[in-house]
Amino acid sequence: MSVARTVLLKVSDNQWLRANGTKLPFIRRAVSKFMPGESFDDMLGAATATAAEGIAAVFTRLGENVEDLTEADGVASHYLEVIDRIRASHIDCEPSIKLTQLGLDIDRELAYGHLRDLAVKCQETGNYLWIDMEQSPYVDITLTLTKRLREEFPRIGVCLQAYLFRTREDLEDITSRGIGVRLVKGAYNEPAAVAFPKKSDVDANYYALAQTMLGAGARAAGSRAVFGTHDLQLIQAIRTHAQVTGVQPAEFEIHMLYGIQKAAQLRLAQDGAQVRVLIAYGDYWFPWYMRRLAERPANVWFVAKSLFG
């Protein structure tokens, strides 16, 4: 892992900066590259614009590690309300949530109750519920709650991270249950005991896992195959593998983050790929933004320019 990435990921965990970083004007200017704005309406405006370009959306209200019951209740109520607004707007836009935002650190059953309420709402409105994956200590509980939810609701998916050694086994279990998978490389600072330290190993594992997701077993179980990456070489390799093995472009999707590889998103959509863009909003964006910088330390240059801009 590069030094810059390690430093930025450590900064993302700093409690003082988490609370105060969003107040720094030059950082606020720089973050607009990745976020259309802090409100749900900003997100909906961006989703409407991308829909016109043939790209559907996933949305998330930023927040994590909520420590207060009232706040967790508020997050759940917010999602319940906006999922209704999504249906009213007729925009193809799917929610993606973090369990620690729904109160997982306070009380697992409380978080599960909120998660279940969101699954009910998604079912009523014809939507689909995505569950993000957080740091490695949360993987077991996230998958346990996802599998429990799947017993009642078919339209759910979870994020799995290719940097973790355990993901091969998790992927086989999750896909066999017909749960959707959004495969990503992984955004956190993980120890070498649980995750591949070398990027080339993460990339190779991603491609191997992608092949399983496109395999006959996962497809027969009805697992939705989503590749959450901006790695254009990897995307090309996956598309070629699909073509060679007779998997149709309609049978898998590519999801990217708002503001990253926009030209490639459009090219892929025009070329027949199913593309979605994940649009984030909310005022608690500091740790999330630091992870975006860590993914490409050259982005720090944008922050520096914003300092003077």
Ligand X SMILES: Cc1cc2nc3c(=O)[nH]c(=O)nc-3n(C[C@H](O)[C@H](O)[C@H](O)COP(=O)(O)OP(=O)(O)OC[C@H]3O[C@@H](n4cnc5c(N)ncnc54)[C@H](O)[C@@H]3O)c2cc1C
Q: Which residues are catalytic?
A: 132, 182
- Contact, 267 vs 53, CB < 8 A? no
Binds ligand X (CB under 6 A): choice among 92, 117, 231, 303? 231
Q: Which of 156, 160, 157, 208 lies closest to 184, judged by CA?
A: 160
Which span sits near ligand X by CB under 6 A: 42-50, 100-108, 117-125, 254-262?
254-262
Q: Which is nearer to ligand X, 84 or 135 (CB)?
A: 135
Binds ligand X (CB under 6 A): choice among 44, 139, 225, 278? 278
Q: Which of 99, 96, 296 lies closest to 182, judged by CA?
A: 96
Query: Site for ligand X (CB under 6 A): how many residues?
Result: 23
Does position 187 interact with ligand X (CB under 6 A)? The reply is yes
- The token pair at 91 is 């925009």
The C-alpha atoms of residue 119 and residue 153 are separated, in whole angstroms, by 7
Please report, as residue ranges, which positions from 144 to 173 form the binding site for ligand X (by CB under 6 A): 159, 161
CB of 297: closest distance to ligand X in angstroms? Answer: 10
Which span sits near ligand X by CB under 6 A: 6-14, 99-107, 183-191, 242-250?
183-191
Q: Which of 259, 280, 292 lies closest to 60, judged by CA?
A: 280
CB of 275: closest distance to ligand X in angstroms? Answer: 10
Give the x-and-dash track for 106-145 against ligand X (CB under 6 A): --------------------------xx------------
Please report, as residue ranges, which positions from 280 to 309 form the binding site for ligand X (by CB under 6 A): 292, 295-296, 299
Q: Which of 92, 44, 35, 61 lies closest to 259, judged by CA?
A: 35
Q: Which is nearer to ligand X, 84 or 264 (CB)?
A: 264
Which span sits near ligand X by CB under 6 A: 19-27, 71-79, 181-189, 215-223?
181-189
Q: Which is nearer to ligand X, 114 or 255 (CB)?
A: 255
User: Interface residues with ligand X (CB under 6 A)?
Assistant: 132-133, 159, 161, 182, 184-188, 228-231, 255-257, 260, 278, 292, 295-296, 299
